[in-house]
Each structure stands twice: as structure tokens, then as C-alpha cells.
Amino acid sequence: METTTASPPAGYVPSGVGSSSDSLAGTRRWAVVLGLLAVATVLAGLYMVFFYAPTEATMGIVQRIFYVHVPSAWTAFMAFGVVALCSAGYLWLRDPRLDAIAVSAAELGVVFTTIVLLTGPLWGKIAWGAWWVWEPRLTLTLLLWFIYVGYFMVRGATENPERGKRFAAIVGVVGAVDMPLIHMSVQWWRSQHPQAVILRPEGAQADPAIVQTVLVWVLGFTLLFFSLLLFRYAMERLSQRAHALRVAH
């Protein structure tokens, strides 16, 4: 059913609008702090990639792509997990803050998935001799990217913004089903993609220096994700306030 928004009386100012960005100052401060921590961690990670981590025995130098590829995939999964949780919350509670978090995380998820989809083929060209192979994990990851690009298309495709948000929230929840499929694809189906070497039931199967380096990158990208998420969230809240003001006038 279509929801209709009654036009407010002239001169009406929505609550919270007058404070503008003041109430988001704390959010932005945290974003800056996390951003600085992320930059420091990633710089340490860069040092470790080129001066600490050993060259892998069989793949050689090209294995170092792993240090940016795997943390990007981890961060993308975390982003889409946040999208699914907040979208479900938004569908239930209709709280605009949950929608703001969901759309912010979805944008970041698309950015990090793009990194995964660009860095993977650079490794594949050397390891497999082909830029792209239509095998389960790669295909499902590409599908994930399309699903969350579709999230934004659905969001902007309706004349009623509230309706677009609800539809996008449904896409955000349903799209998350793809993530466990991606994770398990290398075990369930005949996959050309390497098996997990860090997250294994029997423990990490890699040289300790390689594991330490990738964990530093995971930490750096996680901090970067939350920093950018807070910035994007603050921007989305300001956009919502600007929209409320436009409607009010």
C-alpha cells in the first residue's frame, strides 16, 4: 500500500532540523579518530607486506595481492551484514536512522566488493592464466555486487522515497543470502578459487608472518570501514534533514 505524506503547514520546521550538523559533531569526531587509526594501521600493513611478510613459496610475489584482496572481501561482507541487519530493523521499526546506516554501509560494501572484483583477476591472470573464470565463488561475488548496485537503483526508482527505501531494504535483506553461499562455495561445489587459509576449523594454514600481515590489513580495513561509515551516516542524516526542510517549505 502506498503511504502518502501530508504536506506540513507553512513555516513548520521539523524537529532536530534547527540543530543541523551540531548533533552529528560527535559522529564526525569519531569518524576522524577511526580514520586516523585506520591510516596508521594500513601504513603498518603496507610496511609488513613489502618488508616483513615472506614471499610465498609457489606463487611468488603475486601472492601479495592476497593482502588487499582478502581484507576487502571481509570488509564487504561486514558492510552487507550491516545492511541486512539495519534493513530488517528499518522494515520493522521504520526508524530513518537505521535506513541511513543501511544505505551508508551498502555504498561502502559496493566500493569494497569492487576492490575484490578488480584485484582478484589480477591474481587470477598469473595463477590461472585467465582474468576471469565463471566458477561459483567468482560468479556469486559478481552477483553480490549487482544485487547491491540494484539496491541503489531500486531505492531511486520510485516516486515516493519512503516506498523506495522499503523496497531497497527488502533487497538489502534478501541479498545477504548470497554471502554464506559465497563463503561455502569452495566447499560445496567444485571451485577453482583457493580454499580458506585463515578461517579454517583446524586453524590458519599459512606462515605466521603471512597471517599476522593479513590480520593487520583486516584491522586497518575494518577501522577504515567504520570511519567512512560514520562520515557517510552523518551525511545521510544531514540529507534527510535537508529533505525535511525542503518539504516543510
Q: Given the rule CB under 8 A, which residues bind other proteins?
A: 13, 18, 20-21, 54-66, 68-69, 72, 108, 111, 114-115, 118-119, 122-123, 125-128, 186, 191-195, 197, 205-207, 209-210, 224, 228, 231-232, 234-235, 238-239, 241-242, 245-246, 249
Could you tell me the CA-to-CA distances from 128 to 62, 120, 136 in Å, in that order? 12, 11, 15
What is the nearest approach in angstroms of other proteins to the Cβ of residue 2? 28
What is the nearest approach in angstroms of other proteins to the Cβ of residue 174? 25
Rounded Cα gap, residues 26 and 230, in angstroms? 10
Residue with cell 576471469: 132
Helix, coil or strand: residue 60: strand
What is the nearest approach in angstroms of other proteins to the Cβ of residue 179? 20
How many other CB atoms are there within 10 angstroms of residue 95's CB atom?
12
Q: What end-to-end distance do the CA atoms of the chain give, in Å?
A: 27
What is the nearest approach in angstroms of other proteins to the Cβ of residue 86? 19
* Residue nearer to other proteins on the CB measure, 166 or 232: 232
Quote the distance between the C-alpha of residue 193 and its chain's center.
21
